């Protein structure tokens, strides 16, 4: 990223999420290359990042939306994304009314029983299948085993085969091997042939390089071309992390460097801004943008009242000074979208870097805004 982070910090303060527009476009085109020669649609999973300015950029590249809530639907519609697929395992009657009024294109059914809510609809309907495949990823984000809450067993497909248009599978997130995909897709191809389905949603979960390991795009292209060589229908892929993750960084400022038996670099960003290290023990590369001392073993921690409030543990980093800038990389997905007001902290700002200049796409939340919906009397 050739981004002037110091300039951004001067303009908008810290902590701030910064997104590289050119990286998002580049990664969308990488996905397109995997499906060359097939009829396909790319949907962005809004759970990864739902800022409508970023979504509009994706819509310009022909990307649609994978949404699970009314809020995500509004964000996708505001950005002009199409098609829109409604996903999720807990759709309510109230949700249905809202979605029908707003309009969407594809429905993923999480159970056979859910079809009863939509028997009179002319939407494209897909049945989510649970192929009982181990995605070999963090257990919190593995979704394709029979004990997980999503989808139905392959054996259930025949019950509604004449009432649906295709199948949907999503086996997990941050998957770095193509073999679980090959196994899941091979299973579903047999069902496609059996029932003559014309649409297959392949899910997403393509792993990115947080710490040296990522999904091999060439291998994925080979899997798609091999498994679906005889399929003439439409393939759908729903990706969030792969498109947005490497395009984003969390810019934070050092509050102090606390030296003792262990060195702590205390920053103004914490797990309220980026919860992945605390929640998943996730690794994110951290760069000291303005070092003043040699590399030392340290923890990078936030300002919250939790021992688990860490951005990185046991890192060899060049030591910064108080007021120096740090960059937590690969945070474009599941960063802001999982941020909270914990400890009474306002949500951070978001900035997009495009055409060699920064643009504010979400202003920093104020304390007044944080409490504006609290009723005292």
Residues identified as active-site: 305
């009829």: which residue's tokens?
A: 39
What number of helices (H) and strands (E) belong to the chain? 10, 18
Q: Cβ neighbours of residue 137 under 8 Å, at least 6 residues apart?
A: 172, 173, 174, 175, 176, 205, 207
Q: How far is CA 126 from the centre of its chain?
A: 21
Write b or e for each residue in 331-361: b if 16 or more Cβ atoms lie within 10 A of its Cβ, otherwise e: bbbbbbbbbeeeeebbbbbbbbbbeeebeeb
């049945």: which residue's tokens?
A: 127
- What span, in angstroms and rounded, lies between the C-alpha atoms of 204 and 64? 14
- What span, in angstroms and rounded, lies between the C-alpha atoms of 224 and 234? 12
Q: Which residue, 264, 246, 247, is CA-closest to 256?
A: 264
Dihedral angle at the C-alpha atoms of 251, 253, 258, 261, nearest 10 degrees?
Answer: 10
- Report CA-CA distances (Å) from 98 to 89, 93, 116, 231: 17, 9, 18, 35
Q: How far is CA 289 from the centre of its chain?
A: 26
Query: Contact, 174 vs 142, CB < 8 A?
Result: no
- What span, in angstroms and rounded, lies between the C-alpha atoms of 324 and 333? 25
């498109």: which residue's tokens?
A: 243
- What span, in angstroms and rounded, lies between the C-alpha atoms of 64 and 79? 10
Structural tokens at position 317: 């980093």
- What span, in angstroms and rounded, lies between the C-alpha atoms of 368 and 124? 43
């Amino acid at each position: 990223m050739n981004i002037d982070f110091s300039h951004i910090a001067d303009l908008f303060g810290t902590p701030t999420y910064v997104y590289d527009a050119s990286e998002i476009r580049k990664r969308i085109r990488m996905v397109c290359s995997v499906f060359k020669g097939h009829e396909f649609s790319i949907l962005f999973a809004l759970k990864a990042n739902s800022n409508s300015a970023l979504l509009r950029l994706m819509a310009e590249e022909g990307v649609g939306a994978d949404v699970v809530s009314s809020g995500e639907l509004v964000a996708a519609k505001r950005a002009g994304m199409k098609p829109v697929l409604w996903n999720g395992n807990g759709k309510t009657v109230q949700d249905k009314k809202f979605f029908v009024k707003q309009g969407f294109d594809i429905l993923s059914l999480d159970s056979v029983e859910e079809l009863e809510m939509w028997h009179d609809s002319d939407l494209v309907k897909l049945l989510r299948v649970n192929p009982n495949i181990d995605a070999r990823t963090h257990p919190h984000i593995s979704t394709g085993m029979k004990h997980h809450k999503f989808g139905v067993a392959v054996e259930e497909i025949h019950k509604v085969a004449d009432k649906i248009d295709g199948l949907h599978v999503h086996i997990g997130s941050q998957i770095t091997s193509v073999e679980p995909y090959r196994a899941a897709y091979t299973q579903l191809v047999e069902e496609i042939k059996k029932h003559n389905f014309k649409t297959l949603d392949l899910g997403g979960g393509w792993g990115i390089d947080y710490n040296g390991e990522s999904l091999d795009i060439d291998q994925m292209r080979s899997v798609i071309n091999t498994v679906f060589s005889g399929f003439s229908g439409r393939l759908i892929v729903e990706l969030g992390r792969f498109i947005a993750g490497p395009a984003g960084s969390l810019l934070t400022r050092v509050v102090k460097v606390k030296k003792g038996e262990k060195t702590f670099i205390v920053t103004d960003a914490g797990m309220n801004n980026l919860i992945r290290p605390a929640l998943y023990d996730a690794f994110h590369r951290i760069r000291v943008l303005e070092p003043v001392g040699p590399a030392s073993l340290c923890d990078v921690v936030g300002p919250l009242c939790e021992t688990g409030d860490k951005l990185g543990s046991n890192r060899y980093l060049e030591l910064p000074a108080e007021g120096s800038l740090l960059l937590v990389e690969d945070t474009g997905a599941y960063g802001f979208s999982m941020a909270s007001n914990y400890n009474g902290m306002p949500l951070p700002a978001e900035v997009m870097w495009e055409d060699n200049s920064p643009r504010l796409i979400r202003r920093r939340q104020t304390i007044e805004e944080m409490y504006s919906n609290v009723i005292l009397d």
